[in-house]
A and B are shown apart, each in its own frame.
Chain A
Amino acid sequence: MRPLALVAASLLAFSVAAQDTKKEIQRYQQMIGEGSPVELFELEGETLWKKAQGPKQVSLAKCDLGLGPGVLKGAYAKLPRYFRDADRVMDLETRLVHCMQTLQGRSAEDVLRRVFGNEDRPSELEYLSAYIAAQSRGVTMSPGTSHPKEKQALELGRQLFFHRAGPWDFSCASCHGEEDKRIRMQDLPVLANPRDARPVVATWPAYRVSNSQFKTMQWRLNDCYRQMRMPEPIFASETTVALNLFLTATGKGEPYRGPGTKR
């Protein structure tokens, strides 16, 4: 075979192999999704939602996640959004922490003590996130983007996404800003592109099989900052909520299919 034809043939074989790998990984993702323990977290979350806690010995049942007190169906799909009673944009975890304090009378110190759990003991917020997100299955993701504070947060989130900082001069865009990048076996989604943001936004929060832990968006953002060697963002801060809104808004329009199950 002539040299050029040989090169062409081997390049074709290489790209076919790459396509096969991608297909097999998608099959893995599909199969773990079909046999996932994530529902167990949803069940525990339901129990916690209904549990009387705090000095006021009241459950979270009247917590308003944006669609009215106690309305859970479709509420996650509308987050992050502006809340008048707090006068700020909030994501799910921020709103839960708010309800724990205002409804149940719990202190900030109490509710923020252990926001991220582990495989032996998931956190309350992780269980609650699983339960509440599940109530938005099938609902179109449509976070708030019209209120002035939502617009502000969206713009802040966009700037944060592209802002380079830290010892490595990384931004979110360093890994998630260019096509055809991957880390080991994971293709990196270009999160500023709706095409890639949509499936991501539709499958978080998620159960991570690699460490048997249920992970939320606040955790995901926190961990990205850690991986960029940047200072740890404050839980439920303006920064994290703005980034979450930017990502969710970029991925809006997708029917929610979580909570997800991931590697």
Chain B
Amino acid sequence: MNPLRRTLLGAASALLLKPFAALAAWHKEAFGAKSAPDALKSLGIANAAPSQDVLIEAPQIAENGAVVPVEITSNVKGTTSILVLIDKNPFPLAGKFDFTEGALPFVKVNLKMGETSDVRVVAEAGGKHYFATREIKVTIGGCGG
């Protein structure tokens, strides 16, 4: 390939990659918070109400904390965002998912849990917040191998 063309293509592709990287926000403060209340506070969430419409489907016992499968559904009408926290993790906030009307407020994810803890899900709908928790016991199994 013509060296000038190669340089131009390289510069062009660098420019194309950069916007995604620059625009992709990642809430450093919330993800760096060391407690669930602090994480929620940094996201401006003050009074989440407990709700039966926030569903957490997960096993009560995890054979290993490295992979804990959790399936979350928010049946709260107009849910635009779901937060997933693991209360006893060193950094509780594990995920924030924002949905347009093109998607259902649903996510299944594998989480790392350091120890038995509540998994806490907070749904945002119409500027209000709703939450549910579910305790998952974490064990270490087998012969350690």
> Do chains A and B stick together as partners?
yes
Query: Which residues from chain A sit less than 8 Å from chain B, CB to CB?
Result: 21, 24-25, 27-29, 31-32, 34-35, 183-186, 209-212, 223, 226-227, 263
Question: Would A227 and B145 be within 8 Å (CB), given that A31-B58, A31-B59, A209-B66 are in contact?
Answer: yes
Among A29, A186, A209, residue most surrounded by chain B Cβ atoms (within 10 Å): A209
A111 to chain B minimum Cβ distance, whole angstroms, is 25
- Whether B64 pairs with A209 at a CB distance below 8 angstroms is yes
Return 8 A-B CB contacts under 8 Å, by A number: A25-B63, A27-B60, A31-B59, A32-B67, A209-B64, A209-B66, A212-B66, A227-B143
A263/B64 contact (C-beta < 8 A), A184-B139, A186-B141 known: yes
Known: A209-B67, A210-B66. A27 touches B141 (CB 8 A): no
Interchain CA distance A3-B143 in the complex, whole Å: 38
Binding site for A on B (CB under 8 A): 58-64, 66-67, 69, 71, 108, 110, 139-143, 145
Q: Is the CB of B63 within 8 A of A28?
A: yes
CB A114 to nearest CB in B, in angstroms, measures 19
Given the known A-B contacts A31-B69, A32-B110, are A185 and B59 also in contact in the complex, defined by CB atoms under 8 Å? no
Q: Do residues A263 and B142 form an inter-chain contact, with CB atoms below 8 A?
A: yes
Give CA–CA (A25, B62) in the complex, Å: 7
Chain B residue nearest to A220 (CB atoms) is: B145
A184 to B142, CA, bound (A): 6
Cβ A263 vs Cβ B63 within 8 A: yes
Output the least CB separation between B139 and chain A (Å): 5
B44 smallest CB distance to A (angstroms):
31
A29:B69 contact, CB within 8 angstroms: no
> Judging by beta carbons under 8 Å apart, are A27 and B59 in contact?
yes
Could you say which of B67, B108, B139 has the most chain A C-beta atoms within 10 Å of its C-beta? B67
